[in-house]
């Protein structure tokens, strides 16, 4: 040390010290900018540059859009992202097990709100986004939070007022129909549940392998079809205020009978074993009149390499039921585990994922319906959508009549399983009331225990 000091003293300023000082001078503006941002309250995307975060996504179009532009996020923030996309069911299981371990291996995750909202909310596994949104140092000035739709925000907000996710996507259910088959029979898209049956009947010609209707029938996957009809009878499966099942009401039984009629009389054989992919494959071959499912299946139907009905697909809003008109909706959010040690960097990712730019990209890809109003009104964004305008209109109209398609309870998967078995038996010919009675008796104690 003494030697060095003496040397520097002798030579005045060493070359290394001069270089160091020069670099310091060059970097000074940037350092000052960051320091000012940190102390003055100004937002800076690069504030957490150098950190790394792990992102756990549900495999699907939303994850594809996010992962395709991940590098942009790293360039913008200097935060490295390690992401994985896991198939839906396995993702739900994986994140619950990791949360329960107390040490989840991810800093950001997507949450299927229609299945896991109450579970993650009750366990308080996720950070409340509200304080983060209110922090001007952490939230970009152009984030434009009021741009989020009321529906999206309701999905993201827990019963106690905490918002533990940011809304990422809403999936309203609607009816795809084959315009060519409808035109050949001189039919218009049905306006009521009754007209669905009438149209399905006219479109069905079993001898030629043509059917008026197709939908999921497989246990668990079939429950949203039933609840879609149930909403037309103005009934929710569970009264969320009293936490009582409403599955033995006349509306619920009528919905099960209606589902049974459509699938047994006008659908191809074997739909009790169909999930969305089998139904989609059948519909895309051009011999099915109508298919009820989520709005996100338009891209494969309009893809000539996967579909025989490109340009012939009609997009119909759920018709009027006997008592009400609703589109069953499902949603995804994006959140940050309480256990994450990189909360701020993770929050920047969530902001970026739900920014106007990313929402616009999601809408244009056709793989989802973002929760920002501006995405649907921005003419440039709309012009960039490759799917037909009819699809966009259907999406907007369906969202306008949206109502939760699954009950907001902890054991949603068990609900789907127990009632799914009853519905499969019903579709197989069993009495709807007896099956719903059995399922209701089996699920009542599960629900009671979950809320105890």
Partner 1 sequence: MTAPIAAAAARGYGRNYLPFAYPALAITAMVIVFPWLFTLFMSAHEWKIGSPREFVGFANYVKLAGDPRFLESIGHTLWFTLLSVVLPIAFGTGAALVFNERFPLRGFCRAVFILPMMATPVAVALVWKMMFHPQLGVLNYILTSVGLPPSLWHTSIDTVIPTLVMVEVWHWTPLVMLIVLGGLAAAPTEPYESARLDGANAWQMFRYITLPLIMPFVVLAVVIRTIDALKAFDTIFVISEGGPGTASETINIYLYLQAFAFYNIGYASAIVVVFFVLIIVLAMVLLWLRQKSKWS
Distances (CA, A) of 330 to 216, 269, 370: 16, 28, 12
What is the rounded radius of gyration, in angstroms, for the C-alpha atoms of the chain?
A: 26
Q: How far apart are CA 156 and CA 355, in angstroms?
A: 16
Question: Which of 123, 133, 338, 373 touches partner 1 (CB under 8 A)?
Answer: 123
Q: What angle do CA 116, 121, 124 make, to 5 degrees?
A: 125
Q: Under a CB-based contact definition with an 8 Å cutoff, are residues 262 and 201 in contact?
A: no
Selected binder of partner 1 within 58, 215, 271, 375 (CB under 8 A): 271
Question: Between residues 263 and 369, which has the closer beta carbon with respect to partner 1?
Answer: 263
What does the per-residue mask of binding to partner 1 show for 8-37, with x meaning CB under 8 A? ------------------------------
Binding track over 398-417 against partner 1, x by CB under 8 A: ------------xx-xx--x
Give the one residue of 56, 158, 220, 340 binding partner 1; rule: CB under 8 A. Answer: 220
Closer by beta carbon to partner 1, 391 or else 443: 443
Q: Which of 28, 97, 184, 188 binds partner 1 (CB under 8 A)?
A: 97
Instruction: Return phi, psi of residue 308, to 5°.
Output: -100, 5
What phi and psi values does residue 137 have, to the nearest 5 degrees? Answer: -75, -25
Neighbours of 384 (CB within 10 A): 13
Minimum distance of partner 1 from residue 275's CB (angstroms): 8
Does residue 178 belong to the site contacting partner 1 (CB under 8 A)? no
269 scored as a contact of partner 1 (CB under 8 A): yes
- To partner 1, the closest distance from the beta carbon of 130 in angstroms equals 23
Determine, following the binding rule CB under 8 A, whether residue 122 of this chain makes contact with partner 1: yes
C-alpha span between 339 and 102 (Å, rounded):
7
CB-wise, 274 or 315, nearer to partner 1?
274
Structure tokens at 106: 């991810």
Which residue from 79, 119, 230, 353 is in contact with partner 1, where contact means CB under 8 A? 119
153 scored as a contact of partner 1 (CB under 8 A): no
Structure tokens at 387: 């799917």
Cα distance from N-terminal residue to C-terminal residue, the chain = 69
Q: Should residue 93 be labelled a site residue for partner 1 when binding is judged by CB under 8 A?
A: yes
The encoded tokens of residue 313 equal 């697909």
Per DSSP bridges, beta strands 166-178 and 288-294 are: antiparallel
Residue 214 CB burial class (10 angstroms; 0-12, 13-18, ≥19): buried
Interface segment toward partner 1; rule CB under 8 A; list 53-61, 218-226, 295-303, 401-409:
218-226
Q: Indicate which single residue of 177, 259, 266, 274 sits in contact with partner 1 (rule: CB under 8 A).
A: 274
282 binds partner 1 (CB under 8 A): yes
Member of 14, 74, 239, 285 binding partner 1 (CB under 8 A): 285
CA dihedral 214, 405, 355, 337 (to 10 degrees): -120
- Tell me: does residue 307 bind partner 1 (CB under 8 A): no
Under rule CB under 8 A, residue 330 binds partner 1: no
Are residues 425 and 435 in contact, defined by beta-carbon separation less than 8 angstroms? Answer: yes
Candidate segments 185-193, 262-270, 294-302, 341-349, binder of partner 1 by CB under 8 A:
262-270
Q: Which CB, 7 or 308, lies closer to partner 1?
A: 308
> Minimal CA–CA distance to 407: which of 370, 451, 368?
451
Among 428, 434, 441, 451, binds partner 1 (CB under 8 A): 428
> For residues 81 and 272, which CB has a smaller minimum distance to partner 1 in the complex?
272
Of 110 and 116, nearer to partner 1 (C-beta) is 116
Choose the stretch contacting partner 1; rule: CB under 8 A; options: 151-159, 167-175, 367-375, 422-430: 422-430
Binding-site member from 181, 197, 218, 230 for partner 1 (CB under 8 A): 218
Q: Does 38 bind partner 1 (CB under 8 A)?
A: no
**What does each C-alpha distance from 295 to 16, 61, 168 come to in angstroms?**
63, 12, 15
For strands 327-335 and 402-404, give the pairing. parallel
Backbone angles phi, psi at 29, to 5 degrees: -60, -40
- Spatial distance between the Cα atoms of 318 and 233, rounded to a whole number of angstroms: 13
Backbone dihedral region for residue 209 (phi beyond 0: left; psi -120 to 50: alpha; all else: beta):
left
Choice from 44, 51, 105, 281 touching partner 1 (CB under 8 A): 281
User: Quick one: which segment of 266-274, 333-341, 348-356, 396-404 binds partner 1 (CB under 8 A)?
Assistant: 266-274
Tokens 């106007």, residue located: 356
Q: Would you count residue 270 as binding partner 1 (CB under 8 A)? A: yes
Distance CA 347, CA 363 (A): 22
By CB under 8 A, tell whether 209 contacts partner 1.
Answer: yes
Residues that bind partner 1 (CB under 8 A): 89, 93, 96-97, 99-100, 119, 122-123, 209, 217-220, 268-275, 278, 281-282, 285, 287, 410-411, 413-414, 417, 421, 424-425, 428
């Amino acid at each position: 040390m003494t030697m060095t000091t003496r040397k520097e003293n002798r030579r005045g300023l060493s070359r290394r010290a001069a270089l160091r000082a020069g670099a310091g001078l060059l970097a000074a503006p940037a350092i000052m900018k960051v320091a000012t941002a940190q102390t003055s309250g100004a937002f800076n995307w690069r504030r957490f540059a150098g950190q790394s975060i792990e992102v756990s996504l549900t495999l699907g179009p939303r994850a594809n859009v996010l992962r395709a532009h991940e590098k942009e996020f790293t360039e913008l923030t200097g935060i490295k992202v390690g992401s994985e996309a896991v198939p839906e069911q396995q993702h739900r299981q994986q994140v619950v097990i990791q949360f329960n371990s107390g040490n989840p291996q991810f800093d950001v995750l997507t949450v299927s709100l229609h299945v896991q909202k109450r579970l993650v909310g009750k366990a308080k596994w996720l950070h409340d986004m509200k304080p983060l949104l209110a922090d001007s140092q952490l939230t970009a000035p152009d984030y434009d939070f009021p741009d989020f739709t009321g529906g999206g925000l309701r999905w993201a907000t827990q019963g106690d007022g905490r918002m533990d996710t940011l809304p990422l996507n809403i999936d309203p259910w609607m009816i795809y129909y084959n315009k060519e088959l409808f035109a050949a029979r001189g039919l218009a898209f049905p306006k009521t549940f009754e007209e669905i049956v009438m149209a399905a009947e006219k479109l069905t010609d079993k001898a030629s392998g043509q059917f008026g209707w197709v939908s999921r029938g497989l246990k668990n996957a079939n429950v949203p079809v039933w609840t879609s009809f149930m909403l037309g009878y103005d009934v929710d499966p569970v009264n969320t205020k009293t936490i009582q099942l409403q599955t033995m009401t006349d509306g619920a039984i009528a919905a099960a009978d209606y589902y049974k009629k459509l699938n047994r009389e006008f659908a191809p054989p074997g739909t009790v074993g169909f999930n969305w992919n089998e139904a989609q494959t059948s519909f895309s071959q051009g011999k099915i009149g109508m298919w009820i499912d989520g709005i996100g299946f338009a891209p494969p139907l309009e893809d000539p390499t996967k579909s025989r009905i490109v340009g012939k697909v009609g997009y119909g809003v759920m018709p009027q039921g006997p008592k009400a008109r609703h589109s069953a909706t499902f949603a995804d959010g994006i959140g940050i585990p309480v256990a994450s040690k990189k909360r701020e960097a993770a929050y920047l990712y969530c902001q970026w994922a739900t920014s106007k730019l990313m929402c616009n990209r999601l809408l244009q890809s056709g793989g989802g319906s973002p929760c920002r109003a501006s995405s649907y009104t921005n003419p440039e964004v709309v012009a960039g959508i490759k799917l037909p305008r009819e699809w966009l209109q259907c999406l907007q109209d369906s969202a306008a009549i949206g109502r939760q398609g699954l009950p907001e309870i902890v054991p949603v998967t068990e609900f789907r399983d127990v009632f799914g078995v009853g519905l499969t038996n019903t579709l197989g010919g069993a009495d709807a009331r007896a099956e719903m009675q059995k399922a209701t008796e089996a699920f009542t104690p599960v629900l009671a225990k979950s809320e105890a």
